[in-house]
Amino acid sequence: MARFKIPLFKLNFDKKEEIAIIKTIRSRWISSGPKVGELEKKFAKLIGTKYSLATSNCTASLHLAMLTAGIKEGDEVLCPSLTFVATVNAIRYVGAIPVFCDVTSEDDLTISPEDIERKITKKTKAIIIMHYAGFSCEMSKIMKISRKYKLKVIEDACHAPLSEYKGKKLGTFGVASCYSFFSNKNISTGEGGMYSTNSSKNYTLAKLLRSHGMTTASFERSNKSSIMYEVLETGYNYRMDDIRASIALVQIAKLRKDILQREKIRKLYIKYLKDIKGISIPFSNFKGKSSNYIFPILADNRDEIRNLLVKKGIQTSIHYQPVHRFKIYRKYYRKLLLTDIVTGKLLTLPMYSSLKEEEIKFIAKCLSQIVK
Ligand SMILES: Cc1ncc(COP(=O)(O)O)c(C=O)c1O
């Protein structure tokens, strides 16, 4: 386990998660049940949407978002290339065509509203956006475009629980928003996700699709004597279980404090890295609230730096390889000048709430020696 002196991420777990899991196991109900219900209510309140639906992972949430938005075969969906491939796979699940858009700038790595508007055609039905690293997309411009061309907005908010744009929480702008509780996310449950919406119609459909299109769940049936169910849709099994939901409940109770700590860590990184030549820190002009899910930098000789940091015991990552360059997506190729430039330089440094100032200083020292 301890391969790296400073890993990319450390779980914010303690006895509370362990106790929550044991309690759920001892309750003798471990599949989707009361803990999932409790989590959904608390999550909806936390984010400020009317409805939240816990899922097996965010990829499932994204699929539900495409289905409930009515996206069909042959429709075009505008999307970033600088994202995790799951954002784009969800477009393909419903047979729609991904139309890749560039990032805004080397500082703002979120989808460019100008490029979105340039790429709208008669076939465009939706825009899926991703709030990179927890920093908001340019929501005023994107929502204005969506109203002008009558396009649905879906938010991949995997990186952005509790992030805000001008005081409004991310994940509350579009017709649906999707979150991941994968083990390295701000909320970690191993696997898990959430689908959130303000539309009761979309919520009802998503709930049906989440569990085989069935009108009642096993937990509901277990509380009443032998109730039959109807099947109304060709659904899926995208359910979360109560063990993971009980972990998520502990994690969301820690979330605000965890994010405050991450804000301090970002400030420390900026303090120690700002004078190192050959390195730049994106989102330097960002004024809103970010979950700081990851800490990305741009470095001229990225691959060399990465190899040398590994030798010093510092784990890094690349978020992300651009989706339009993957073999399966090359047929949707678009020239994305800035995305191609930044993805050659992107490097993610360690980020987690227990990261210490001494460790950040060490990372900065190593970087300054390497870059020189
Ligand atoms: C931006 C983004 N979208 C989608 C996903 C998929 O989430 P999950 O692994 O929960 O399916 C991730 C997870 O890494 C992500 O970072």
Each residue's pLDDT tens digit, 226-262: 578 999 999 999 999 999 999 999 999 999 999 999 9
Average pLDDT of the chain to the nearest whole number: 96
Residue 1 has pLDDT above 60, yes or no: no
Provide the pLDDT for residue 223.
77
- Pocket residue to mutate for ligand 1, from 8, 56, 58, most atoms within 8 A of Cβ: 58
What's domain 256-371's superfamily in CATH? Aspartate Aminotransferase, domain 1 (3.90.1150.10)
Provide the pLDDT for residue 220.
79
- What's the pLDDT band for 2 if we cut at 50, 70, 90? low
Cα-Cα-Cα-Cα torsion 150, 142, 153, 160, nearest 10 degrees, comes to -170
CA of 267 to the centre of ligand 1 (A): 26
185 is catalytic: yes
The reply to whether domains 15-252 and 256-371 share a CATH topology is no
CATH code for the structural domain at 15-252 = 3.40.640.10
Going by C-alpha positions, the residue among 56, 43, 42 that lies closest to residue 180 is: 56
Q: Judge if the beta carbon of residue 55 lies within 6 A of ligand 1.
A: no
Q: Judge if the beta carbon of residue 158 lies within 6 A of ligand 1.
A: yes
CA 180: distance to chain centroid? 6
Tell me the pTM: 0.97
Strand 176-180 to strand 152-156: parallel, antiparallel, or no bridges (unpaired)? Answer: parallel
Q: Residue ranges of the domains in the chain?
A: 15-252, 256-371
Q: What are phi and psi of 169, to 5 degrees?
A: -65, 140
Provide the residue type at 126 as one letter. A
Bin 48: left if φ > 0, else alpha if -120 < ψ < 50, else beta. left
Active-site choice (152, 185, 207, 289): 185
Provide the pLDDT for residue 210.
98
Please tell me the distance from the alpha carbon of residue 60 to that of residue 77, in angstroms, as a whole number.
18
- Of residues 372 and 191, the one with the higher pLDDT is 191
Residue minimizing CA distance to atom 8 of ligand 1: 58
CA of 158 to the centre of ligand 1 (A): 6
**Residue 18 corresponds to which tokens in the numbers above?**
């362990």
CA of 199 to the centre of ligand 1 (A): 23
Q: Judge if the beta carbon of residue 182 lies within 6 A of ligand 1.
A: yes
Mean predicted confidence (pLDDT) in 320-332: 97
